[in-house]
Amino acid sequence: MLGRSLFFAGIFFLSLTSTAQNPPNWASNQLIEPSTLAQMLRQENSLPLIFNVGLDPVIPHSVNIGTASKKENLDKFRKELSTLPKDTKIVIYCGCCPFEHCPNVRPAIAVLKEMKFTNWQLLDLPNNIRADWINKGYPVVKL
């Protein structure tokens, strides 16, 4: 009986540890605060190139790539980036879910690194786009 309990406890522990995504492939200084980007949008002052790598574009002036977890969307992202100077100011965002579970930001960042872009940031949406952007009254795309 004890052996069976230990077995199931081990399975439970493994299931908890295996559900986490890979560690972040960005540094804290590569995050841009939502309030900072919102202010830039309101002033339309030296806007970065903004890419949505998630489900639907929410932020004005976003280029919609689609979910970066799909190969065809990563290919689309590469194509969009291919004509840009490597120091182009870029912001990417998803916001579908908390960062630790997001299937889209890591592949998009990997592409930026692979293509040697040097001036990119990830919009800091640790919870999701609704909680960290929409509910704070920041600018949204008009439907």
Residue 118 belongs to domain with CATH number: 3.40.250.10
Q: Is residue 27 domain-resident?
A: yes
Structural domain harbouring 116: 23-136
Q: Is residue 121 domain-resident?
A: yes
pLDDT for 26 equals 86
The DSSP line for 93-139 is E--SS-GGG-SSHHHHHHHHHHTT--SEEEE--SS-HHHHTGGGT--
Flag whether the pTM goes above 0.85.
Answer: no
In order of 37, 48, 119, 121, the CA distances from 113 in angstroms are 22, 17, 10, 11
pLDDT for 22 equals 64
Q: Is residue 75 domain-resident?
A: yes
What is the number of domains present in the chain?
A: 1
pLDDT digits (tens, 9 = 90+) for 25-69: 888 899 999 999 999 999 887 899 999 999 999 999 999 999 999
Query: Does 5 score more than 80 pLDDT?
Result: no
